[in-house]
Amino acid sequence: MSRFAVQGGHVITHARSVLKDHYVIVEDSTISAITADLPPDITSVLGGPQDIVMPGLINTHTHAPMTLFRGMADDLPLMTWLQDYIFPAEAKHVNRDFVYVGSLLAAWEMTRSGTTAFCDGYFYEDEVGRAAKEVGIRAWIGEGILQFPTPSLKDPKRTIDHNRSFIERWKDDRLVRPTVFPHAAYTCTPAILSAAYALAEEYDLAFQIHLSETASEVEQVRRDHSMSPVELLDSLGCLSERTLAAHCVVLSEAEIDLLAKRKVSVSHNAESNMKLASGIAPVPRMIEAGVNVSVGTDGCASNNNLDIISEISTVAKLHKITCMDPTVLDECTALAMVTRNGARALGFAGGVLEPGRPADITVLDGKAPNMVPVHNPVSHVIYAATGGNVKDVVIDGKVVVKDYRSLTVDEDALIRECRSIQQHISRG
């Protein structure tokens, strides 16, 4: 049995609960206790007396392999970026090796910046799962479902059967969970959306989808179906507690209330939406209505990093200025979005530190200059820290990052592989 302690001068058990000078005791994959005194039988201690210990952070919307497209097509509107640059690049360059290497890079970046779980949708997602398991990060993965050929499936008529086989391969895995991922209402027919949701119901899986990301998307779906994307999904029975809707930028008041009524979770991707000028999601209104709002970074081609700590800092400040109210989205609400809310969106027992919960833990270095002094540790996480302050990371009871160093990634070899792929892309 593996047994060790994680020490913190401040232990954030959840967003509104902080313990001073405590130890989180880890046994195998679970938190067994949180105590002020170190048990005498424990000799292995992670963290330190000045560090901030908190639940592992959860990123609910990524396209992990797109790390290899980082910085390739910046400063463009979404549809131009997607249709004129990203789709052609994917058709030309994306294969199993590309996805595997890009996902290794993403998992390395995420763990080094405090993320312990992520939800991903792309192509060749078996390779995303393989990379996640090697790095030791939890992953919810979805093979992209679209109405036209994709890099991993040339015949779109087989997309549901293709996904069923994918789900069967991963349904019993401990660290990696399958999801069902139809890309969006404008890239899937109503029949495909209905079949995808039925598949999610059959296997009791999360159903993730891009939803109402831009005004042009909403207009296109209205032209095609005489309904908005939210109305279309609701008419098909695709809105429920298992639905994880990414973006949700362009919503009416009635649609916000509908998402709350259907118990849909939302993944807010502020930095990607800002960079692509997609708009600003009405997050304070969604929270007020009772929608479970979590946070995602989106892919590195549109963000351009996977630092969830920087992302949530942006989220907290963005909505203060849009509402012209500094009390909107306080630090405790913001931290809950990347911990407990993210876990709820994925149907996961993590997101808090308490006995019996999964041992997913992030430790911030309390000796870093931007972390001194500590009047309010939760404030430090949201307004002072960056992913660069992450010192140690535990996932499923295993130490994945220790003293800033990844224990599961051959960093030099991975950098060489990524640079080789970048050179190949540059040659066209």
Q: Give pLDDT, residue 143.
A: 98
- Max Cα distance, the chain (Å): 68
| Structural domains of the chain in order of their starting residue, each with its CATH number | 3-55+361-406 (2.30.40.10), 57-346 (3.20.20.140)
Per-residue pLDDT of the chain (428 residues), as tens digits, is 789 999 999 999 999 999 999 999 999 999 999 999 999 999 999 999 999 999 999 999 999 999 999 998 888 887 888 889 888 988 889 999 999 999 999 999 999 999 999 999 999 999 999 999 999 999 999 999 999 999 999 999 999 999 999 999 999 999 999 999 999 999 999 999 999 999 999 999 999 999 999 999 999 999 999 999 999 999 999 999 999 999 999 999 999 999 999 999 999 999 999 999 999 999 999 999 999 999 999 999 999 999 999 999 999 999 999 999 999 999 999 999 999 999 999 999 999 999 999 999 999 999 999 999 999 999 999 999 999 999 999 999 999 999 999 999 999 999 999 999 999 888 86
Question: How far from chain centre, in Å, is Cα 227?
Answer: 29
Digit-coded pLDDT (tens) for 361-401: 999 999 999 999 999 999 999 999 999 999 999 999 999 99
CA dihedral 423, 144, 308, 305 (to 10 degrees): 20
* Distance from C-alpha of 165 to C-alpha of 144, rounded to nearest angstrom: 13
